[in-house]
Amino acid sequence: MLRRLLRNPLAAAGGLIVLALFAAAAGAPWLAPYDPSDFDAAYVLDGPSVRHLLGTDGLGRDVLSRMLFGARVSLMVGFVSVGIASLVGVTLGAVAGYFRGVVDTVLMRFVDVMLTFPTFFLILAVIAYLDASIWNIMLVIGLTSWMGVCRLVRAEVLSLRERDFLVAAEALGMKPSRVILRHALPNAMAPVFVAGILGVAGAILVESALSFLGIGVQPPQPSWGNILTEGKSTLGVAWWLSVCPGLAILITVLGYNLLGEGLRDVLDPRLRAR
Q: What is the CA radius of gyration of the chain?
A: 22
Please state which CATH class domain 2-272 belongs to: mainly alpha
**pLDDT for position 83:** 92
**Three-state DSSP state, 56:** strand
Which ranges of the chain have pLDDT less than 50?
A: 273-274
Rounded to two decimals, what is the model's pTM? 0.85
Q: End-to-end alpha-carbon separation of the chain, Å? A: 15
**pLDDT for position 69:** 92
Residue 51: CA atoms inside 13 Å, Cβ hemisphere, count?
A: 10
Residues 56 and 238: their CA atoms lie apart, in Å, by 9
Domain ranges across the chain: 2-272
